[in-house]
Amino acid sequence: EPEVTQTPSHQVTQMGQEVILRCVPISNHLYFYWYRQILGQKVEFLVSFYNNEISEKSEIFDDQFSVERPDGSNFTLKIRSTKLEDSAMYFCATATVSYNEQFFGPGTRLTVL
Amino acid sequence: SQQGEEDPQALSIQEGENATMNCSYKTSINNLQWYRQNSGRGLVHLILIRSNEREKHSGRLRVTLDTSKKSSSLLITASRAADTASYFCATDAGGGSQGNLIFGKGTKLSVKP
């Protein structure tokens, strides 16, 4: 069964460093999302991406964040200068169309020291 | 305002019993989805119910949706120890959103063998 994959599974970084989280969507999916979950808290929407551009973003998704599909397959989330409060699980999700089921990857645990 | 709030926050039952979890939301929606999350792991999609549907079944899962009360319930019948996980409802933001999901805090289900 096709699945969303994410790399790395765990990333440890120093505050102020840049990180890139990678996602490989399910091949026929056209809508891509990033969510995050701070330990013990809700899953929060960050950004949606369709047709090579951002469709929607939340207040969390500030200028430190960016997304792109560099090679038509990977979907990446970049945090330019990480802060301690960016420590969280980051989930990529994809869907065939915007109001269908979203399939989530296993997540990347980001730890900012 | 909060969207997609589940209750109870925690539920402990014996194997073989049924588990019912409820979700309330505040704004109009296009669909509502239920997800399962095992501790520290990714989100597994369980079922999607559209706003024009009232009930949906998938295996041992039964989901109802009452748009007049802005509520949904997830019933797991004949529970198993492997059903132990957190369960989340997620709604879209309605209107012209691109399907980004708004999650509740979840119900932590513990099924004792």
pLDDT in tens, B77-109: 999 999 999 999 999 876 666 678 999 889 999
Q: Do B45 and A103 touch (CB under 8 A)?
A: yes
Nearest residue in chain A measured CA to CA from B90: A43
Res A99 pLDDT > 90: no
Nearest by CB to residue A106, choosing from B35, B42, B102, is B42
**pLDDT tops 60 at residue A111:** yes
Whether residues A35 and B101 touch (CB distance < 8 A) is answered with yes
Per-residue pLDDT, averaged over A87-96, amounts to: 95
Please say if the pLDDT value at position A28 is more than 90: no
* Nearest CA-CA partner of A32 in A67, A83, A66: A67
Q: Which residues of A touch B43 (CB under 8 A)?
A: 43, 91, 93, 104
pLDDT band, residue B2 (cuts 50/70/90): very low
Query: Which pLDDT does position A78 carry in this prediction?
Result: 97
What integer pLDDT is reported at residue A58 of this predicted model? 93
CA atoms B110, A45, B55, A98: torsion sign: negative
In three-state secondary structure terms, A86 is: helix
**CB-CB contact of A81 with A17 (8 Å):** yes
- Interface-testing mutation among A38, A42, A50, A108, with chain B (most B C-beta atoms within 10 A): A42
Closest CA to B47 of B9, B67, B78, B75: B75
Distance CA A19, CA A88 (A): 13
Query: Would the pLDDT of B1 be above 50?
Result: no
In this complex, do A91 and B42 lie within 8 Å of one another by their Cβ atoms?
yes
